Amino acid sequence: DLPFIINEMLDAVLYGYKPMEIYWRYIGDYLIPTAIVGKPPHWFGFDEFGLLKFLGDYTSGIPTIMLKTKFLVIKHDATSENPYGRGVLSKCFWPVVFKKGGFQFWTQYAERYGQPFLIGKYKTDAKQEDIDELLVQLNALQNGGRAAIDEDVSIDAISAGNPQQADIYKNLIHFLNAEISKAILSQTLTT
């Protein structure tokens, strides 16, 4: 399946290198490769001579040097000093981390300042159970939009925050999206 093999090989651009295992089989008198299957790069490493080794069982700590006829190694921008190559996804690490943080802060901002604060006012001689009931009603009003309260109680809604402040997080996420696009596509599609 040549399209599948090519698709697996293209992972080398993303990760820096891609080990591909060759499955051999005798057909008649000939030893022929019958399949080439990509393996996860983190299963492998390189020795001091740049030869592929299987890291294997992490508890034993004994790497196995792989036979040259068993594995192909596709590399992207590899050098003798860096046999692991240069993966495009390595340029995306920090933008993705900050983007996730930006989404988190944006969501927290929207939750905190997107809805008005409800302030319930009660009389100074109110009992603690009346105050607790008012808090339950304010919660119901905030979440469900309906509440039944005593006519002696008043509720004020205070709008907090400036809607333009949320654009800080939105602009951050757009910037990080552009950085990820530049890393993978070499442009932001604005040209």
Instruction: Give per-residue pLDDT as tens, 64-85.
Output: 777 778 899 999 988 888 899 9
Tokens for 9?
Answer: 């090989």
Q: What is the pLDDT of residue 121?
A: 81
Would you call 142 exposed, middle or buried from its count of C-beta atoms within 10 A (0-12, 13-18, 19+)? middle
Tokens for 118?
Answer: 């409800």
Q: What is the pLDDT of residue 160?
A: 64
Q: What is the pLDDT of residue 144?
A: 67
Task: Tell me which residue has tokens 């089989």.
Answer: 25
**Bridge partners of residue 30, in order along the sequence:** 27
Q: What is the pLDDT of residue 147?
A: 65
d(CA 17, CA 31): 27
Q: What is the pLDDT of residue 172?
A: 74
Asked whether the CA dihedral 139, 143, 144, 145 is positive or negative, the reply is positive
**Contact in structure between 79 and 71 (CB atoms under 8 Å):** no
Q: What is the pLDDT of residue 175?
A: 81
**Dihedral class, residue 62 (left if φ above 0, else alpha if ψ from -120 to 50, else beta):** beta
Contacts of 43 (CB under 8 A, 6+ apart): 19, 54, 55
Give the chain's residues under pLDDT 50. Answer: none
